[in-house]
Structure formats: structure tokens, C-alpha cells
Amino acid sequence: MIDAHIHLDQYSDTELDKCIPEWQAARVGAVIAVSMNLASAHRTLELKKRYPDFVYAAIGYHPEQPFPHPAEIEEIFSLIKQEKEKLCAIGEVGLPYYSPHAGAWAEAYGELLGQFAALAAETDLPLVLHAVHDKAEPALEIILAQGVCKAHFHWLKAPDDVIDRIIRCGYYISLTPEVCYRKRDQRLALRVPLSGLLLETDGPWPHSGPFTGKRTTPLFLRDSIATVAALRGLAFAEVAASSTRATQKLYGIPEACSYM
């Protein structure tokens, strides 16, 4: 199993030192660790250095926060170019939706996403996208205009026609543990081909349903796999294998890190 999207930098060192061996013992082979901003990127790179065969690092700037100072943008772009060989992706990037200032920031974030997309095309790194509801289609248009070949729409919530366009473009879509208890996500689990379906936790973001009050960790992946398998009438092992293969293919993860 591979957690296709987690904010590993938001877990303490003490927690990670204790939990990563437990996650590995439970057959979590790797995680895609995304970044929020420059400080987050540096910590994610530190975690990559500490756990080189488990952590696959991505650098970006999350759009649901105040628009960054130009100096921070410049440093993030420089860091991506400098550390390219240590990265599996650029992200998390995208367009704001939930922020109360989303409207005011929309144009600036659209331009920034275009810059990240151009860099992704230039470096041949996958792009990890936060683009939900009515922001999914504009984000799709931006990355297509920049010639992005590899993209991951994480925790996607979007109209069916937009979902279908994303699938036709060959981009990837991921489900969180919400698939275990939310009908919208269960419909998405049936709509996306297994070859393009990833599973993530978005930890440490808290989830509801059977996960209420629990610390989000990659161990939740087993519940998501079991739910998708039941929805699609497949064996647990088949869904575990397909989601692992898809994540490996997108992010260039060796098979040695994929035990299920």
C-alpha cells in the first residue's frame, strides 16, 4: 500500500519515529509527502533524508492560505530546481475554494498555478493538485495549456463531466477515507478506472464516520481499500495492487516499496 497524499511534516518527529515502523509492519510501503509552503518544503526534504526509502517528497504552495510573498515564490521555485532529483512531484498546488478570501486571490493563484504547471512540464515532475468543485475545471484548463503530462487531482470533488475530462486526459484521481462513509466519494470510486485511481489519507486531516476522534494515519488505507473492493465487487488484494501500481507509475516509486 502507498499513501498517495499526506502532510507528513505536520506529524512530530517523536510520532514519526514511533509510527513509521508500525506503518511499515502493516505493509504501508511508502508515502507521498506534500508541502504547504517554504518551511514545510524544507521539513519534508529533511524527512526524505531521514526515511529515504519510505518518504517521497513533493514541494509546492497550498492555495488555501494567504498568497505568498514574491520572495517565497522565488525560493520555492529555486528549491524545486535545486532538489529535483530528490522529488517525486510538485505540490501541493492549485486554486483556493474554501478560504474566505478565495475570490480575491483567484486571479493571482491562477497565475501561480500556471507557473507551477510550466515548471512541472519543464522538469517532467507530476503535479499534485488541490482543485475542487468549481475550481477543478479552471485548474484542468491551466495545466492543459501548459502541457502538463502527469497530474494528480487529490481528494477530488467535481461535476461528473469534469471528472470524465480529467480521466480522458490521463490524469489521476485519489480518494480519501471519506469513501468509507460518504456517498459522493463512493460514486467517484465507481466512476474512475482502477488504472487511474489512487488512495490517500490527507493526514493528519481528521475524518468522520468510523474514523471520528482517531488520529489520521496511513493505516486508514486498509479501510479505503476494503470499501472500494466491496463497491466494485473485487478482492481486497486486487484493489490494493491496482492502487499501488497506479501510484508507482505516476510517482516513479520502485516495486520494492510497494508491499501490500
Domain spans, the chain: 2-257
Topology classification of domain 2-257 = TIM Barrel (3.20.20)
pTM: 0.96
Question: What's the mean pLDDT in 135-142?
Answer: 98
Q: CA torsion, points 141, 107, 89, 99, in degrees to nearest 10?
A: -110
Which of 85-99, 155-169, 244-258 comes out lowest in average pLDDT? 244-258
pLDDT band, residue 101 (cuts 50/70/90): confident
Residue 257 confidence (pLDDT): 60
Residue 124 confidence (pLDDT): 98
